[in-house]
Structure 1
């Protein structure tokens, strides 16, 4: 987006990519269909050291403008839950859109080329690359964060920021599955592949989407979302029935189905495998008629306030984004130019701006790219 925007201003633009293929993360995203934006995108969907930083770029290039671009290229798409937009066919359509725009804008691309050093001259920059020297007036760093290293991710942006004296906030994996303590994994691992709608809370933030049990721990959209707010040692609280007055429902079931087994009754609400695993672990059993109000209260509390402490996350290997990054106070929120280094720009995920799951991080990439491309 940045390259095409600059190219349409008649700037001479060279895109340098260290892998053998442009847009690998785009191709991998959304299960191969690319969740390219979100119709509800707003600054409220981002975490940052400065929650106001993203407002300017997002307001100047909102989701509606990227959707218009997608439509102009004849790409068919559909909305999934919570405003998430996906290609009907393939994420390759979004990559081809960007490549076509770059071609129309006269942008040159160079793959399998490493940037070995960047030297700030006065004016401009001297880049030493694996394919020779490049002299330019502006450099835009759009290399992302550390997430999904097999997609080409590196810490290059942070290295360049440090080189030029920009402060970088601590980074960690975000939108990432949790791993569990051995004791918890022992009774939950057999549930691998089972999904259930939940709400999950941590550090004052709550998300309502699906939970997915895995052979390593917990995943699914709700878990990925809350992982951005979790810190090592924190507990998360899971409500398996966020829309129910569960205690009252259990009392009604005891009255109407006194001879039914407790697990049989709960299995009308969720997977039998989950019911069996949780009831055995928490030691709930017997006929409904045998369950006192005290027992049903304790059961409802366990199911709706299930507190569990992850042992960690799966890390950058499976994380969708990197939390933290280059401190937003180091760059202009309007142009993304480094305050200390005229002509040096940082955009996208390498900055300390992290979106929620659901297309928000792509929208940040588009918006910040356009903002920088208008001036670089």
Structure 2
């Protein structure tokens, strides 16, 4: 990623956590104290690998473990981490290591952005979702009861280090839901990645996936995200297209209190809603909508969310942070790799489409 003001590497390969001290040295952070933030599930699976790598290099530091899940992404948890950092006498030159999925990356990044008015953070994503989305781009945030990611900042990491081997320990559902973000990148930006996903979906989603192939896909998807972030680091224009499927998706998550649908699953349904709107407006072909649905199903992702309260979803959508002057800003497709942002979609069409994907 190169925003002009900031530049940082993204490493994607098996075994990257064992190379962590070398990577820190490459970006000039060796010899500094590190403060690792992770969650209960990830620390059990990968904490020892990180600890042994850092110990072997003589890197001093400490760790803080939060309960796994979206419910930890709050100001209360952030305040607890501030108190811990203060007790450890963390300094501005020290380094936050965010080891985990999107929740840990968002929360640890938010803490790094705000404690001492800013500390460097290295993102160590351990889920497909985080490797392709949350870890790249510097959007860090916590949730409020009123909505997801409503309090946050732009705070770019100093590096993103994606160890593909960590994906072996993910529960099946957590592994597949992350590919919603990869499919999103393919649909809005890269027809060649779209074709690769269609061709290799069986190998990628098998119970013993080809990690070299997964690394190739994640690297290609990460590169797309990096290009968009580099051109629009604070989402003032082009970066908004990365929200394809997210307006309805976030509404579904909030309406179900983050307990029924994982983020990628909700975004998958949100992409289907956006696709149906695009078809109704004559922007997107029915053939492309069918192609999108087939690919989502091939990755085990939902194309509908039956039983979710439509009124609650629509209310949440109206509070979405992408709303401007009371108007929803929806990302729609005109073709593979051709995304646009519209703020003139009739409310009646939005309501009817959301209700249709919630009926299944």
Q: What TM-score does the superposition give when structure 2 sets the normalisation length?
A: 0.25
Which has the larger Rg?
A: 1
- Higher fraction of strand: 1
Bigger RCO (CA 8 Å, 6+ sep): 1
Q: What TM-score does the superposition give when structure 1 sets the normalisation length?
A: 0.25
